[in-house]
A and B are shown apart, each in its own frame.
Chain A
Amino acid sequence: GEDVEQSLFLSVREGDSSVINCTYTDSSSTYLYWYKQEPGAGLQLLTYIFSNMDMKQDQRLTVLLNKKDKHLSLRIADTQTGDSAIYFCAEPDRGSTLGRLYFGRGTQLTVWP
């Protein structure tokens, strides 16, 4: 669980789709999370997916899970300038039942008008 990896930067034009990718390490993770962090702020839970699902859609957000490759993605449709932020994927530590989360370094999404 300690090596959650994400690409660091993504730039898109307003109105386009954004796809943020993440690889995680623990194939037994039951939930996987996406958080959003705006400058100087805490983390906002965006969405999560349970490991028995391949896809979850929530308004403009689509989460895809490929358990075989331990790959998680977050697609944001019709990206807006207000979506500019850092996006973190996170997986729980399965070494215990205490629920600590391991985070990637985050993907800085910049949306150009």
Chain B
Amino acid sequence: DTGVSQNPRHKITKRGQNVTFRCDPISEHNRLYWYRQTLGQGPEFLTYFQNEAQLEKSRLLSDRFSAERPKGSFSTLEIQRTEQGDSAMYLCASSSRGEGEQYFGPGTRLTVT
């Protein structure tokens, strides 16, 4: 399967714990995006990488959130000191060009108890 993959698919954590998610984009795609989706809403943009450079962060991305793409391949999204409001589906997408079609992974569903 050469699509976008995300791990884990589900994560349940207690409030205050740290969590880390991983995204593996389509191999030849140099652009990688993170979105967050809450119930009944469309995905909302969090951050964007072109190769290893993080070029844009949404105001939704508080200081507790950090994302990396160290070698321009896979990316990680870490949430520190999780809060119940962080419960959502975290989606990763990749693209080969700006304004090009973005291909999404299956998402990681985070539940903070």
> Which A positions have Cβ atoms within 8 angstroms of B?
4, 30-31, 33, 35, 40-45, 48, 88, 90, 92-93, 96-106
- Given contact pairs A100-B45, A101-B45, A42 touches B107 in the complex (Cβ within 8 A): yes
Cα(A33)–Cα(B102), bound, Å: 9
Q: Are A98 and B56 in contact (CB under 8 A)?
A: yes
Least CB distance from B24 to A in Å reads 13
- Report the nearest A residue to B95, measured CB to CB: A99
Q: How large is the interface on B (under 10, 10 to 19, 20 to 34, 35 or more residues)?
A: 20 to 34
Q: Which residues of A are found within 8 Å of B45, using beta-carbon distances?
A: 93, 100-102
Cα(A106)–Cα(B44), bound, Å: 12
Q: Are A48 and B101 in contact (CB under 8 A)?
A: yes
Least CB distance from B41 to A in Å reads 6
Q: Are B99 and A42 in contact (CB under 8 A)?
A: no
* CB interface residues, B 64-113, toward A, < 8 Å: 91, 93, 95, 97-107, 109
Question: What are 27 A-B pairs at a CB distance below 8 A?
Answer: A4-B42, A30-B99, A40-B109, A42-B91, A42-B105, A43-B43, A43-B91, A43-B93, A45-B102, A45-B103, A45-B104, A88-B43, A92-B99, A96-B56, A97-B99, A98-B48, A98-B98, A99-B31, A99-B33, A99-B48, A99-B95, A99-B97, A99-B102, A100-B45, A100-B48, A105-B41, A106-B41
